[in-house]
Structure formats: structure tokens, C-alpha cells
Amino acid sequence: MQIFELYFNPKLGRHPPAALLTKGEAPDLIFESFCYEPENVYERRLGSLYMVGELKNTLPQNLKLISNLAGLIKSKFYAFPIISLDRSLGESLKRVNEFLTEEVKKENTSWLGNLSFVLISLKNFDLNFTKVGDLKILLFRGGQITDIGERLEFQEIEPYPLKVFQNIVSGKLTEGDLIFVSSKEVFDFFSKENLINEIAQIPIEKSFEKELKKILKLKEKLLLEISGICLLVFLKPEVLPKEEFVFKKKVSFFPLERLFKKFGKFPEKIKEKMSFGIFFAFARKTKEIVFSPFKKFSLLLSKIKSSLALRRKIILVLILIFLLALGFFIFKREEKKEIKKNEVKLEEIQKKINSAENFLIFKNEREANSLLIEAWQEILPLTKEEALKEKAESMKARIEESLFKLNKLEKISEPELVFEFRKEEIFPEKMVLLDKALYFFNSYNSWLYRFEGGEKFKIEAGEKFNLAIPFTEHSILFFFKPDKLISFEEGKFGEPIILKEPYSNFNFDDFTIFRKNLYFLDERAGEIVKYPPLIEGKDFPKLWLSPETKKIENPKSIAIDGSLYLLTKNEIHRYYGGKYQETLKLEIFPPPQNFDKIFTKENLNYLYLMESVQKRIIILDKSGRINSQFQSDQFDNLKDFAVSENGREIYLLNGQKIYQINL
């Protein structure tokens, strides 16, 4: 059996490097694979375990979620190798479901709708597997390709009681079969470039590893543009090593006295001789213990006198001790130099703080803010230096106090709770505000909830929506991938509208509306597609960005008010008429780490930003200057937000809770 774990571009920040675990930052996407082979004869009764996991929109508390799931499954699966394989799998999935239920009770729900996971059990040629999410599982056999994960493709998470992993699919494999597991982005790329068919056609008699490398080498440049994971399990006849059992003869000591008892009385003379023997043996042993160190030392001295090689060894040891001592003194001297150097840095930082305070006297807040942010960034490394830690931390606290005021950061200990969904109702991912009603939905349930006037109403939709925006004054436009739109007005859904395809393999991640024109963002392609008002036969799409204009990598969200604002991880880029205009200069404290969403409208004067990593909502004027920002420890699972028509109320979707901020 051959195993291939293919990671495509984890260096893009989508696979969690260890540094992230200490910085408290989270990548957008995490993917990992795990291969566990039996370690002993008992575990071989259950076979091998292979797992692949992917987590999107990762929050810091979930950086280890995939590895934790894999560890739980492995420990439970191999815990009792004497039970049947089916029962071991069942117990493993039960334990994982219990673990995830506990996470939900702790209000850690950000992984819902974002987690994809595949578990494969393989014993000899017996296959058992289960999955959740959009990872693909294919079987290659004799050039034929079968989607064996199709039966689990539409398996939904049961919310109450929570069941993430449910059904197990079983089958029988043969020699030469290949199991293919991949994330969606990798699968889409392999399909587009015909790599799946090429891999399936590799002859069984050839070296699979060599042929696979040839196929991937031809697409090396294109593979740099994707990020994801692929696990290949190529089956060969399984040969189990022979178990060796070594039998050792047990040696026991038979008392001499018992031997004589069998034949008569134990002779007293023999007893007496044995006693004297024991006494002399004890005395001899005591002498050895007392005088042994002196003998050894005198022997060592005589060896040193007679042995040139030994003298050389001793000289080398002495030289080593000398060098170590010299290194220690050099290190101490360099340490003093470093302390003096850092003291000079602290003085320079203090000068910047003084300059910033002077700018504040003359009401030049922007320059003061810029200088204080520089000072804060420079002092951060010094807070980790033990010699100057106390002084540096004190200075850092003073800088932060000034920056919080300048950046109008309001920390809310108890934000206003509008209402909260019960765990059995829904785990919403998105929200939209229409008139005075809030609508909530997710991408894995075919219903939505409406909240108005303190009451909730469940509405059956018949479809699973991905995105939504207010369309007219009294209607909402829902979008579900890849190309369907449906309007909702006065409690009723209209007929679905199928969008014309702008180009092959399009994938819309966000959309907005301006004067009834729809603008869709394709994050992977870096394109914005414009659809004119939806009139029958006239919805021809157009690539909105001019071919010669600057395109932004990894866009995340769009908003429009005449100008179009394109949001990336920590920047805002403004376009007009399909052409790049500027990148807004953002001097925000705390510095942005990973923006999630941007919103504005033609009638609003501000840009509204959500950053779930730092638990805050930011409000900027349209030049990028800070107006206000709100942060709370309660905003620990921000999913979405909505702004009222007049821009004075902000509604925050945080897990199953909805908060309100009044401006």
C-alpha cells in the first residue's frame, strides 16, 4: 500500500504554521491529513485509519480543531481492539459527536458549515468511510472513476441533538484500486485540467509515484495558484509481518535446606560452614566498597603517567572547559551590549511619544496617531526582553491608552442583546435587514427565520441559500450557488432566475446591488461580474473590471455607493467605472489583521467593517479615517452584520446571539 499526502501551497497562510499558535492569529483556511497504521498485532485486527480535514473561516480557538478530532478518533478506535471493527468506528464517531456538542455548548459554533472531514478505515481490502462537508472521495479502478462519496454528499448535520458524523458507507476493494480524497479547490482544479482522468489511467504495472510526479510536474506553475489538500491511497497486496514469540526459560533458585529435608535432617556442620562462608563474603564485600574508590583513583593516576593518549584526552577536556567559560563571558558581554542598544531604542521611542503629544496640543490627531502606532510597533519586541520588560510594558500601556482614545475605540462589557436562538432552532451564518425585520439563514438548512417586533417566525424556503441582499424597499434577493437567484417579497418566494454563465468555472463569493445592477465577486478569479437589471433575456453578464486596470489578489468582500470598495485581508481598494482609483490609507489601532466584510450604501456617509478575529466593528469615513469602533469580549463568534437604513443601528450576528449597537 502506498500513501501520498499532497499539500498545495500551505505557505500561503492556509495551513496553520506553529507561529500562528503563539500570535493568536488564524488563517482563512486550515487543511490537514492523518495516516495511522496499526502498531501491534492487536491493532491489526482493526486495520488502518486515514483522515482528511478542512476548516474555513478559522477563528483562533479552532486552530487545533482538526487535529483534535483526528486524535479523538484514533484513541477511541484503537482503545479496545478486541471489539468488532464496526463497533470501533461507531464508538469513535459517537465520541467525536459528543466532543463537538460540548463545543457548541461553549458557544463555539464558528466551525458549523465550515468544517469538512473524511474518515476512512481500511482493513486488508475492506473499506469503511464517512464524511461531512464538501471534501470529494473518488475510487479509481481500471481506468474508471466512481464518486463513492456521492451517497454522503447531501448528508446534513442534525442540530438537536447535534450529529455531525452519521452514516458509514462500506465496500470491498481490490488490488490496484486507488482512493482519491481532496478539498473542493483541488478537485475543481484537477477536473478542469483533466488531471483526474490522467491519474486514473496510470497503468498498475508502472511506478505510481513516478507517473504521478510526471503528471503534476507538467502543471507545476498552475498548481501555485491553488491551495488545498489531496490524499491518495494506492492499494497493493497486504503482507503482514510474522509475529515472533520468544519463550524464555524461567530460572528459579531451589533452597539447599529444602533438598536435605527431603532426605533427612539438614547437617549442622554444613549449616555452620555456610554461616562462616556468608560472614567472610560479607566482610570481603564491605572492604571492596570502602577501599574501592582509593584503588580506582591510584589506578587512574598510574594510567595517566603511563598513557600518552589518556593525557591528551584530559588536556582536551580542560581546553573544552576553558572554551565554555570563555563563551559564557563573551555571551554576558554581548548581553550587556544588547541591553544598552535596547535602552537607546527606548529613548528613541520616548522621543516619538513626546512628538505625538506635541501634535495633540496643536490638534493634529492624524500625525499623532501615526507616530504612536510606529512607537507601539517598535516597543512590542522590547516587551519580550527580560532585562527591560517592566519598563517597556509600562511604556506600551501608556501608548495604547493614547491610541485607544485617538482611534475612538469603545469597549463594551455588556452589549445590548436583542434576542438569542435556541440550540435546536438554527445556527445562522448570514443575516439581512429589510424594513424593520431581520432574516437569518445558513447554507445547510432549507429554511430561514424572520425576527420582527420581538417575535420569531420560521419560513420554509425549499432551498439552501448562500447569500442575500435587500433588493427593493420590500423584497430580498437570495442567491444560491452556482447561478440561481430568487426573490422574496411579502412572505413569498418568486420563481428562480438562472444567471447566464460569465465564464467557465465561475464561483461567486459575495454580491451587492447599485441602482438595480448586480455586482458579483469571484474571489478565486479576482473578477467582478456585473449583471444589468434582471429583465427577461437581458441579463447578459459583463466583466466589470477593465482589462488594463490593477487587479487585487484574494479579495474578500465588496460594497458600492457609486464607487466600488474591494476589501482584502487588511486593506480597502476603491474602484470607479471598472478602474482602480486608490488604496485607502488606514491608520487604525489595533492594526487590522483579517477583515471579514465591508458595507456601505449610496445614502450612507460611512464604510462599515467587521473583523471577527479582533471582536470588533469599525466605522470609517470614505477617505479611510476612523469615525468609531466597538469591541467586546462577547463578540467572540461574529458571523455577519447589518446596518439600518439611516446608518444609526448596527445588528451583529454572533453565533446564535444577536446584538445591537446604537450610534
pLDDT in tens, 208-248: 888 899 999 898 888 888 889 999 999 875 443 333 333 33
pLDDT in tens, 87-126: 888 888 888 888 888 888 888 888 888 889 999 999 888 8
- Answer yes or no: same fold for 2-234 and 414-662: no
**Can you give the pLDDT at residue 303?**
56
* Distance (Å, whole) CA 368 – CA 357: 7
Reply yes or no on whether the pLDDT at 302 is more than 70.
Answer: no
**Can you give the pLDDT at residue 428?**
94
* Distance (Å, whole) CA 582 – CA 125: 59
Binned at pLDDT 50, 70 and 90, residue 372 comes out as very high
Reply yes or no on whether the pLDDT at 625 is more than 60.
Answer: yes
Distances 441 to 156, 204, 448, 451, 467 between C-alpha atoms, Å: 15, 48, 5, 12, 9
Which of 266-275, 462-471, 542-551, 616-625 shows the lowest per-residue confidence on average (mean pLDDT)? 266-275
* Distance (Å, whole) CA 66 – CA 52: 9
Which of 347-361, 418-432, 503-517 shows the lowest per-residue confidence on average (mean pLDDT)? 347-361
pLDDT in tens, 254-295: 344 443 444 444 444 444 444 444 444 444 555 555 555 555
Q: Report the half-sphere exposure of 96 (CA within 13 A, side-chain side).
A: 29
Reply yes or no on whether the pLDDT at 164 is more than 80.
Answer: no
Beta-strand ranges (E) seen in 309-443 are 409-411, 416-420, 430-434, 437-441
Reply yes or no on whether the pLDDT at 369 is more than 60.
Answer: yes
In the chain, domain spans? 2-234, 309-406, 414-662
Burial class (CB in 10 A: 0-12, 13-18, 19+), 198: middle
Give domain 2-234's CATH superfamily: PPM-type phosphatase domain (3.60.40.10)
* Distance (Å, whole) CA 4 – CA 216: 13
Of residues 404 and 84, more confidence is placed in 404
**Can you give the pLDDT at residue 435?**
86
**Can you give the pLDDT at residue 556?**
94
pLDDT in tens, 553-600: 889 999 999 999 999 999 999 999 999 999 999 989 999 999 999 999
CATH: 3.40.50.720, 3.40.1800.10, 3.60.15.10, 2.120.10.30. Which one for 414-662?
2.120.10.30
